[in-house]
Homo-oligomer: A and B are copies of this chain.
Protein backbone atom coordinates (compact mmCIF):
# COMPACT_ATOMS: atom_id res chain seq x y z
CA UNK A 1 0.00 0.00 0.00
CA UNK A 2 1.07 3.56 -0.60
CA UNK A 3 1.64 4.15 3.09
CA UNK A 4 4.38 1.47 3.00
CA UNK A 5 6.59 3.51 0.66
CA UNK A 6 8.72 5.17 3.35
CA UNK A 7 9.40 1.79 4.94
CA UNK A 8 10.21 0.24 1.55
CA UNK A 9 12.58 3.15 0.82
CA UNK A 10 14.29 2.65 4.17
CA UNK A 11 14.80 -1.08 3.53
CA UNK A 12 16.48 -0.19 0.20
CA UNK A 13 18.43 2.72 1.67
CA UNK A 14 16.86 5.09 -0.83
CA UNK A 15 17.01 8.77 0.09
CA UNK A 16 14.57 9.82 -2.58
CA UNK A 17 12.49 8.44 -5.43
CA UNK A 18 11.67 10.12 -8.72
CA UNK A 19 8.67 8.96 -10.74
CA UNK A 20 8.72 10.05 -14.37
CA UNK A 21 5.49 11.06 -16.12
CA UNK A 22 6.53 11.71 -19.73
CA UNK A 23 4.16 12.78 -22.47
CA UNK A 24 2.12 10.26 -24.39
CA UNK A 25 2.13 7.46 -21.85
CA UNK A 26 0.02 8.50 -18.87
CA UNK A 27 -2.40 5.57 -18.87
CA UNK A 28 0.32 3.08 -19.88
CA UNK A 29 2.48 4.39 -17.03
CA UNK A 30 0.99 2.68 -14.00
CA UNK A 31 3.71 3.73 -11.52
CA UNK A 32 3.02 7.34 -12.46
CA UNK A 33 -0.75 6.98 -12.35
CA UNK A 34 -0.44 5.36 -8.91
CA UNK A 35 1.62 8.23 -7.53
CA UNK A 36 -0.62 10.99 -8.96
CA UNK A 37 -3.77 9.28 -7.65
CA UNK A 38 -5.23 8.57 -11.05
CA UNK A 39 -4.93 12.06 -12.57
CA UNK A 40 -4.14 12.35 -16.29
CA UNK A 41 -1.17 14.64 -16.69
CA UNK A 42 2.55 14.73 -17.41
CA UNK A 43 5.31 15.82 -15.06
CA UNK A 44 7.56 14.49 -12.32
CA UNK A 45 6.85 13.25 -8.79
CA UNK A 46 9.68 13.57 -6.31
CA UNK A 47 9.56 12.11 -2.83
CA UNK A 48 12.29 12.29 -0.25
CA UNK A 49 12.12 9.62 2.42
CA UNK A 50 9.68 10.57 5.18
CA UNK A 51 8.60 13.67 3.27
CA UNK A 52 5.41 14.17 1.24
CA UNK A 53 5.31 13.64 -2.50
CA UNK A 54 5.88 16.76 -4.60
CA UNK A 55 4.36 17.06 -8.06
CA UNK A 56 6.22 19.15 -10.62
CA UNK A 57 3.58 20.07 -13.19
CA UNK A 58 3.12 22.17 -16.34
CA UNK A 59 0.94 25.29 -16.15
CA UNK A 60 -1.25 23.95 -19.01
CA UNK A 61 -2.24 21.04 -16.76
CA UNK A 62 -2.86 22.89 -13.52
CA UNK A 63 -6.47 21.67 -13.20
CA UNK A 64 -5.30 18.05 -13.38
CA UNK A 65 -2.44 18.83 -10.99
CA UNK A 66 -4.89 20.13 -8.40
CA UNK A 67 -6.85 16.85 -8.63
CA UNK A 68 -3.86 14.83 -7.45
CA UNK A 69 -3.94 16.17 -3.91
CA UNK A 70 -0.12 16.28 -3.92
CA UNK A 71 2.10 19.17 -2.89
CA UNK A 72 2.41 21.23 -6.08
CA UNK A 73 5.55 22.71 -7.60
CA UNK A 74 5.10 24.42 -11.00
CA UNK A 75 7.75 23.79 -13.65
CA UNK A 76 7.85 27.55 -14.01
CA UNK A 77 9.67 27.72 -10.66
CA UNK A 78 12.73 27.10 -12.84
CA UNK A 79 13.69 29.45 -15.65
CA UNK A 80 13.74 27.01 -18.53
CA UNK A 81 14.06 29.68 -21.25
CA UNK A 82 17.26 30.90 -19.57
CA UNK A 83 18.53 27.33 -19.27
CA UNK A 84 18.03 26.53 -22.96
CA UNK A 85 19.74 29.75 -23.91
CA UNK A 86 22.78 28.68 -21.89
CA UNK A 87 22.52 25.02 -22.98
CA UNK A 88 21.23 24.77 -26.57
CA UNK A 89 21.70 20.98 -26.56
CA UNK A 90 18.47 19.43 -25.28
CA UNK A 91 20.24 16.82 -23.14
CA UNK A 92 22.50 19.43 -21.55
CA UNK A 93 19.47 21.61 -20.84
CA UNK A 94 17.58 18.70 -19.30
CA UNK A 95 20.53 17.82 -17.08
CA UNK A 96 20.83 21.43 -15.92
CA UNK A 97 17.08 21.61 -15.20
CA UNK A 98 17.28 18.38 -13.18
CA UNK A 99 20.35 19.68 -11.36
CA UNK A 100 18.47 22.80 -10.28
CA UNK A 101 15.37 20.81 -9.33
CA UNK A 102 17.28 18.26 -7.27
CA UNK A 103 19.22 21.05 -5.61
CA UNK A 104 16.18 23.18 -4.79
CA UNK A 105 14.10 20.23 -3.56
CA UNK A 106 16.93 18.66 -1.55
CA UNK A 107 17.29 15.47 -3.62
CA UNK A 108 20.64 13.74 -3.14
CA UNK A 109 22.12 10.42 -2.09
CA UNK A 110 20.59 7.19 -3.42
CA UNK A 111 17.74 8.08 -5.75
CA UNK A 112 15.43 5.43 -7.25
CA UNK A 113 13.94 6.13 -10.69
CA UNK A 114 10.50 4.78 -11.74
CA UNK A 115 7.82 5.18 -14.38
CA UNK A 116 7.60 4.30 -18.07
CA UNK A 117 10.15 5.94 -20.37
CA UNK A 118 11.83 5.69 -23.73
CA UNK A 119 14.84 3.43 -23.18
CA UNK A 120 17.18 5.48 -25.36
CA UNK A 121 16.31 8.73 -23.57
CA UNK A 122 16.57 7.28 -20.10
CA UNK A 123 19.98 5.68 -20.72
CA UNK A 124 21.33 8.93 -22.12
CA UNK A 125 19.83 11.07 -19.35
CA UNK A 126 20.89 8.74 -16.54
CA UNK A 127 24.45 8.61 -17.87
CA UNK A 128 24.69 12.38 -18.20
CA UNK A 129 23.10 13.03 -14.78
CA UNK A 130 25.46 10.60 -13.13
CA UNK A 131 28.42 12.54 -14.53
CA UNK A 132 27.03 15.97 -13.72
CA UNK A 133 25.75 15.23 -10.20
CA UNK A 134 28.34 13.37 -8.13
CA UNK A 135 26.18 13.84 -5.02
CA UNK A 136 23.40 11.76 -6.57
CA UNK A 137 23.51 8.02 -7.18
CA UNK A 138 20.73 6.86 -9.50
CA UNK A 139 19.47 3.42 -8.49
CA UNK A 140 17.74 0.89 -10.73
CA UNK A 141 15.57 -1.81 -9.18
CA UNK A 142 14.78 -4.88 -11.25
CA UNK A 143 12.63 -6.89 -8.89
CA UNK A 144 10.43 -5.96 -5.93
CA UNK A 145 11.01 -2.28 -6.54
CA UNK A 146 9.52 0.25 -4.15
CA UNK A 147 6.54 1.20 -6.29
CA UNK A 148 5.58 -2.31 -7.39
CA UNK A 149 5.96 -3.62 -3.85
CA UNK A 150 3.66 -0.88 -2.55
CA UNK A 151 1.18 -1.58 -5.37
CA UNK A 152 1.16 -5.30 -4.62
CA UNK A 153 -1.15 -4.86 -1.62
CA UNK A 154 -4.26 -2.78 -2.27
CA UNK A 155 -5.96 -0.66 0.37
CA UNK A 156 -9.70 -0.82 1.09
CA UNK A 157 -10.54 1.94 -1.38
CA UNK A 158 -8.60 0.20 -4.17
CA UNK A 159 -10.27 -3.15 -3.40
CA UNK A 160 -13.70 -1.52 -3.49
CA UNK A 161 -12.91 0.09 -6.84
CA UNK A 162 -11.61 -3.20 -8.25
CA UNK A 163 -14.73 -5.06 -7.07
CA UNK A 164 -16.82 -2.49 -8.91
CA UNK A 165 -14.76 -2.89 -12.11
CA UNK A 166 -15.32 -6.64 -11.77
CA UNK A 167 -19.11 -6.28 -11.55
CA UNK A 168 -19.15 -4.01 -14.60
CA UNK A 169 -16.93 -6.39 -16.59
CA UNK A 170 -19.31 -9.25 -15.78
CA UNK A 171 -22.18 -7.07 -17.05
CA UNK A 172 -20.35 -6.78 -20.39
CA UNK A 173 -19.90 -10.56 -20.62
CA UNK A 174 -23.58 -11.03 -19.71
CA UNK A 175 -24.56 -8.67 -22.54
CA UNK A 176 -22.68 -10.88 -25.01
CA UNK A 177 -24.20 -14.09 -23.65
CA UNK A 178 -27.70 -12.58 -23.78
CA UNK A 179 -27.11 -11.44 -27.35
CA UNK A 180 -26.00 -14.91 -28.46
CA UNK A 181 -28.97 -16.59 -26.72
CA UNK A 182 -31.31 -14.26 -28.60
CA UNK A 183 -30.01 -15.46 -32.00
CA UNK A 184 -30.87 -18.69 -33.86
CA UNK A 185 -28.99 -21.82 -34.92
CA UNK A 186 -28.89 -22.74 -38.61
CA UNK A 187 -26.51 -24.94 -40.63
CA UNK A 188 -24.06 -25.20 -37.77
CA UNK A 189 -23.83 -21.42 -37.44
CA UNK A 190 -25.32 -18.68 -35.32
CA UNK A 191 -27.61 -16.48 -37.44
CA UNK A 192 -29.70 -13.41 -36.69
CA UNK A 193 -33.47 -13.01 -37.10
CA UNK A 194 -32.95 -12.41 -40.84
CA UNK A 195 -30.90 -15.57 -41.16
CA UNK A 196 -27.62 -13.69 -41.66
CA UNK A 197 -24.54 -15.22 -40.00
CA UNK A 198 -23.32 -13.53 -36.83
CA UNK A 199 -19.58 -12.95 -37.12
CA UNK A 200 -16.84 -12.65 -34.53
CA UNK A 201 -16.36 -9.07 -35.70
CA UNK A 202 -19.97 -8.30 -34.76
CA UNK A 203 -19.35 -9.74 -31.29
CA UNK A 204 -16.25 -7.55 -30.93
CA UNK A 205 -18.29 -4.47 -31.87
CA UNK A 206 -20.94 -5.45 -29.31
CA UNK A 207 -18.23 -5.90 -26.67
CA UNK A 208 -16.78 -2.45 -27.37
CA UNK A 209 -20.22 -0.81 -27.14
CA UNK A 210 -21.00 -2.62 -23.89
CA UNK A 211 -17.58 -1.65 -22.45
CA UNK A 212 -18.20 1.98 -23.35
CA UNK A 213 -21.61 1.94 -21.62
CA UNK A 214 -19.89 0.65 -18.47
CA UNK A 215 -17.22 3.37 -18.72
CA UNK A 216 -14.58 0.73 -19.42
CA UNK A 217 -11.95 0.66 -22.16
CA UNK A 218 -9.84 -2.20 -23.51
CA UNK A 219 -6.41 -0.75 -24.33
CA UNK A 220 -4.93 -4.26 -24.59
CA UNK A 221 -7.80 -5.59 -26.72
CA UNK A 222 -10.17 -8.47 -26.02
CA UNK A 223 -9.87 -12.13 -26.95
CA UNK A 224 -12.94 -13.80 -28.44
CA UNK A 225 -11.47 -16.78 -30.26
CA UNK A 226 -13.11 -19.96 -31.46
CA UNK A 227 -11.99 -23.39 -32.64
CA UNK A 228 -8.34 -23.56 -33.55
CA UNK A 229 -7.82 -19.95 -32.38
CA UNK A 230 -9.22 -20.94 -28.97
CA UNK A 231 -6.37 -23.45 -28.86
CA UNK A 232 -3.77 -20.68 -29.07
CA UNK A 233 -3.84 -18.62 -25.86
CA UNK A 234 -3.18 -15.20 -27.38
CA UNK A 235 -4.99 -15.48 -30.72
CA UNK A 236 -7.58 -12.71 -30.77
CA UNK A 237 -10.03 -14.23 -33.28
CA UNK A 238 -10.74 -13.84 -37.01
CA UNK A 239 -13.20 -10.97 -37.44
CA UNK A 240 -14.95 -12.24 -40.58
CA UNK A 241 -15.49 -15.79 -39.33
CA UNK A 242 -19.08 -16.79 -38.54
CA UNK A 243 -19.89 -17.90 -35.01
CA UNK A 244 -20.09 -21.71 -35.07
CA UNK A 245 -22.16 -24.08 -32.96
CA UNK A 246 -20.41 -26.54 -30.68
CA UNK A 247 -16.90 -25.05 -31.05
CA UNK A 248 -14.83 -23.95 -28.08
CA UNK A 249 -14.94 -20.16 -27.67
CA UNK A 250 -12.40 -18.57 -25.33
CA UNK A 251 -13.68 -15.14 -24.23
CA UNK A 252 -10.93 -13.36 -22.28
CA UNK A 253 -11.72 -9.77 -21.37
CA UNK A 254 -9.32 -7.46 -19.49
CA UNK A 255 -10.70 -3.93 -19.51
CA UNK A 256 -9.57 -0.87 -17.61
CA UNK A 257 -11.87 1.46 -15.71
CA UNK A 258 -11.80 4.77 -17.52
CA UNK A 259 -12.20 6.70 -14.26
CA UNK A 260 -9.79 4.95 -11.90
CA UNK A 261 -7.42 3.14 -14.27
CA UNK A 262 -7.87 -0.23 -12.51
CA UNK A 263 -8.09 -3.40 -14.59
CA UNK A 264 -10.23 -6.50 -14.34
CA UNK A 265 -9.33 -9.78 -16.03
CA UNK A 266 -11.70 -12.70 -16.55
CA UNK A 267 -12.09 -15.59 -18.99
CA UNK A 268 -14.99 -17.86 -19.73
CA UNK A 269 -15.03 -20.66 -22.27
CA UNK A 270 -18.29 -21.13 -24.10
CA UNK A 271 -19.82 -23.51 -26.65
CA UNK A 272 -23.01 -22.41 -28.38
CA UNK A 273 -25.90 -24.88 -28.50
CA UNK A 274 -23.81 -27.92 -27.57
CA UNK A 275 -20.20 -28.87 -26.85
CA UNK A 276 -18.16 -30.58 -29.56
CA UNK A 277 -17.00 -34.12 -28.65
CA UNK A 278 -14.29 -34.01 -25.98
CA UNK A 279 -14.79 -30.35 -25.12
CA UNK A 280 -16.87 -30.92 -21.96
CA UNK A 281 -14.18 -33.31 -20.64
CA UNK A 282 -11.45 -30.75 -21.34
CA UNK A 283 -13.59 -28.12 -19.63
CA UNK A 284 -14.09 -30.32 -16.57
CA UNK A 285 -10.34 -30.87 -16.26
CA UNK A 286 -9.66 -27.12 -16.31
CA UNK A 287 -12.52 -26.46 -13.88
CA UNK A 288 -11.19 -29.10 -11.49
CA UNK A 289 -7.75 -27.46 -11.44
CA UNK A 290 -9.38 -24.03 -11.02
CA UNK A 291 -11.50 -25.27 -8.10
CA UNK A 292 -8.61 -27.04 -6.36
CA UNK A 293 -6.38 -23.98 -6.64
CA UNK A 294 -9.11 -21.62 -5.39
CA UNK A 295 -9.85 -23.96 -2.45
CA UNK A 296 -6.14 -23.80 -1.51
CA UNK A 297 -6.00 -19.99 -1.41
CA UNK A 298 -5.31 -18.39 1.97
CA UNK A 299 -2.89 -15.84 3.39
CA UNK A 300 0.69 -17.05 3.36
CA UNK A 301 0.25 -19.67 0.64
CA UNK A 302 3.03 -19.75 -1.98
CA UNK A 303 1.92 -18.79 -5.49
CA UNK A 304 4.63 -21.04 -6.93
CA UNK A 305 3.03 -23.85 -4.93
CA UNK A 306 -0.34 -23.00 -6.50
CA UNK A 307 1.13 -23.42 -9.98
CA UNK A 308 2.59 -26.76 -8.88
CA UNK A 309 -0.86 -27.83 -7.70
CA UNK A 310 -2.47 -26.80 -11.01
CA UNK A 311 0.17 -28.80 -12.89
CA UNK A 312 -0.43 -31.81 -10.66
CA UNK A 313 -4.21 -31.84 -11.23
CA UNK A 314 -3.78 -31.52 -14.99
CA UNK A 315 -0.94 -34.06 -15.19
CA UNK A 316 -3.11 -36.61 -13.35
CA UNK A 317 -5.66 -36.07 -16.10
CA UNK A 318 -3.06 -36.87 -18.78
CA UNK A 319 -2.18 -33.36 -19.92
CA UNK A 320 1.33 -32.10 -20.46
CA UNK A 321 2.44 -29.26 -18.18
CA UNK A 322 5.42 -26.88 -18.24
CA UNK A 323 6.84 -28.81 -15.27
CA UNK A 324 7.30 -31.77 -17.60
CA UNK A 325 8.40 -30.26 -20.92
CA UNK A 326 9.28 -26.83 -22.21
CA UNK A 327 8.35 -25.29 -24.56
CA UNK A 328 4.99 -26.99 -24.92
CA UNK A 329 2.82 -26.84 -28.02
CA UNK A 330 -0.25 -28.45 -26.43
CA UNK A 331 -1.66 -29.00 -22.94
CA UNK A 332 -1.29 -26.58 -20.03
CA UNK A 333 1.23 -24.24 -21.60
CA UNK A 334 1.30 -21.12 -19.44
CA UNK A 335 1.49 -20.12 -15.81
CA UNK A 336 -1.43 -19.95 -13.42
CA UNK A 337 -2.03 -16.23 -13.10
CA UNK A 338 -0.63 -12.82 -12.23
CA UNK A 339 -1.16 -9.84 -9.98
CA UNK A 340 -3.50 -7.16 -11.33
CA UNK A 341 -4.25 -3.52 -10.54
CA UNK A 342 -3.26 -0.42 -12.52
CA UNK A 343 -1.51 -2.85 -14.88
CA UNK A 344 -3.25 -5.92 -16.19
CA UNK A 345 -0.12 -7.92 -15.38
CA UNK A 346 1.52 -6.92 -12.11
CA UNK A 347 4.05 -8.57 -9.83
CA UNK A 348 2.92 -11.58 -7.84
CA UNK A 349 4.49 -14.22 -9.97
CA UNK A 350 3.09 -17.73 -10.33
CA UNK A 351 5.90 -19.09 -12.44
CA UNK A 352 6.68 -22.72 -13.08
CA UNK A 353 10.43 -22.72 -13.18
CA UNK A 354 11.45 -20.97 -10.00
CA UNK A 355 9.88 -19.97 -6.70
CA UNK A 356 10.15 -16.18 -6.65
CA UNK A 357 8.90 -16.18 -3.07
CA UNK A 358 5.52 -14.56 -3.70
CA UNK A 359 2.67 -15.44 -1.36
CA UNK A 360 -1.02 -14.60 -1.16
CA UNK A 361 -1.35 -11.84 1.44
CA UNK A 362 -4.17 -9.61 2.66
CA UNK A 363 -4.63 -6.89 0.03
CA UNK A 364 -3.25 -8.87 -2.88
CA UNK A 365 -5.38 -9.12 -6.04
CA UNK A 366 -4.50 -11.68 -8.69
CA UNK A 367 -5.96 -13.89 -11.39
CA UNK A 368 -6.31 -17.66 -11.30
CA UNK A 369 -6.51 -18.89 -14.90
CA UNK A 370 -5.64 -22.49 -15.70
CA UNK A 371 -6.15 -23.52 -19.30
CA UNK A 372 -5.70 -26.38 -21.76
CA UNK A 373 -4.85 -25.87 -25.44
CA UNK A 374 -5.14 -28.35 -28.28
CA UNK A 375 -4.97 -26.45 -31.57
CA UNK A 376 -4.62 -29.79 -33.38
CA UNK A 377 -8.10 -30.69 -32.05
CA UNK A 378 -9.44 -27.17 -32.76
CA UNK A 379 -10.07 -26.49 -29.11
CA UNK A 380 -8.86 -24.70 -26.05
CA UNK A 381 -10.33 -23.95 -22.63
CA UNK A 382 -9.44 -21.29 -20.07
CA UNK A 383 -11.29 -20.28 -16.91
CA UNK A 384 -10.20 -17.14 -15.11
CA UNK A 385 -11.40 -15.06 -12.18
CA UNK A 386 -9.81 -12.02 -10.60
CA UNK A 387 -9.51 -12.87 -6.93
CA UNK A 388 -8.64 -10.82 -3.89
CA UNK A 389 -7.43 -11.64 -0.43
CA UNK A 390 -9.33 -9.17 1.76
CA UNK A 391 -7.67 -7.29 4.63
CA UNK A 392 -9.17 -9.86 7.06
CA UNK A 393 -7.62 -12.70 5.04
CA UNK A 394 -10.80 -14.01 3.44
CA UNK A 395 -10.60 -15.01 -0.22
CA UNK A 396 -13.15 -13.44 -2.53
CA UNK A 397 -13.65 -13.66 -6.29
CA UNK A 398 -14.16 -10.23 -7.87
CA UNK A 399 -15.68 -11.99 -10.91
CA UNK A 400 -19.28 -12.90 -9.98
CA UNK A 401 -20.13 -14.81 -13.15
CA UNK A 402 -21.34 -18.43 -13.58
CA UNK A 403 -19.14 -21.13 -15.09
CA UNK A 404 -21.54 -22.71 -17.61
CA UNK A 405 -19.88 -24.01 -20.75
CA UNK A 406 -22.89 -24.23 -23.07
CA UNK A 407 -24.94 -21.21 -24.13
CA UNK A 408 -28.37 -22.54 -25.18
CA UNK A 409 -29.74 -21.29 -28.49
CA UNK A 410 -33.00 -21.94 -30.36
CA UNK A 411 -33.43 -23.17 -33.95
Chain B's closest residue to A20 (CB) is B119
8 Å CB contact of A142 from B62, B124, B143: B124
Contact residues in B for A141 (Cβ distance below 8 Å): 120-121, 123-124
| A55 to B113 alpha-carbon distance, docked (Å) | 29
Nearest chain B CB to A219's CB is how many angstroms away? 6
Q: Which of A155-163, A232-240, A241-249 contacts B (4 or more CB under 8 A)?
A: A232-240
| A236 to B39 alpha-carbon distance, docked (Å) | 12
Q: Which of A76-84, A177-185, A190-198, A361-369 contacts B (4 or more CB under 8 A)?
A: A76-84
Chain B's closest residue to A352 (CB) is B81
**A315 beta carbon closer than 8 Å to chain B:** no
Q: A123 and B126: CB pair below 8 A?
A: yes
Q: B28 and A143: CB pair below 8 A?
A: no
**A318 beta carbon closer than 8 Å to chain B:** no
**A410 beta carbon closer than 8 Å to chain B:** no
Nearest chain B CB to A57's CB is how many angstroms away? 11
Q: Which of A205-213, A287-295, A386-394 contacts B (4 or more CB under 8 A)?
A: A205-213
Contact residues in B for A352 (Cβ distance below 8 Å): 81
Nearest chain B CB to A264's CB is how many angstroms away? 15
Q: How many copies does the complex hold?
A: 2
Nearest chain B CB to A31's CB is how many angstroms away? 7
Q: B113 and A140: CB pair below 8 A?
A: no
Q: B334 and A60: CB pair below 8 A?
A: yes
Q: A123 and B94: CB pair below 8 A?
A: no
Contact residues in B for A379 (Cβ distance below 8 Å): none
**A145 beta carbon closer than 8 Å to chain B:** yes
Q: A354 and B88: CB pair below 8 A?
A: yes
Contact residues in B for A114 (Cβ distance below 8 Å): 118-120
Ordered by A's residue number, 19 sampled pairs between the chains whose C-beta atoms are within 8 Å are A40-B236, A41-B234, A59-B329, A60-B232, A63-B232, A76-B326, A81-B353, A90-B143, A91-B143, A114-B118, A114-B120, A116-B116, A117-B117, A121-B142, A123-B139, A124-B141, A127-B140, A205-B212, A219-B219
Q: Which of A22-65 contact B (CB under 8 A)?
A: 23-28, 31, 40-41, 59-64
**A138 beta carbon closer than 8 Å to chain B:** yes
The A interface, classified by DSSP as helix, strand, loop or mixed, is: mixed
Chain B's closest residue to A61 (CB) is B234
Q: B333 and A90: CB pair below 8 A?
A: no
Chain B's closest residue to A125 (CB) is B142
Nearest chain B CB to A73's CB is how many angstroms away? 13
**A221 beta carbon closer than 8 Å to chain B:** yes
**A255 beta carbon closer than 8 Å to chain B:** no
Nearest chain B CB to A233's CB is how many angstroms away? 5
Contact residues in B for A298 (Cβ distance below 8 Å): none
Chain B's closest residue to A89 (CB) is B143
**A344 beta carbon closer than 8 Å to chain B:** yes
Contact residues in B for A3 (Cβ distance below 8 Å): none
Q: A76 and B327: CB pair below 8 A?
A: yes
Contact residues in B for A76 (Cβ distance below 8 Å): 326-327
Q: Given A232-B63, A234-B64, answer yes or no on A212-B208 (Cβ-Cβ < 8 Å).
A: yes
**A98 beta carbon closer than 8 Å to chain B:** no
Known: A81-B353, A120-B145, A124-B142. 9 other contacts (CB 8 A): A25-B116, A80-B326, A80-B353, A84-B353, A90-B142, A116-B118, A119-B122, A120-B142, A123-B140
8 Å CB contact of A123 from B81, B116, B122, B212: B122
| A232 to B63 alpha-carbon distance, docked (Å) | 9
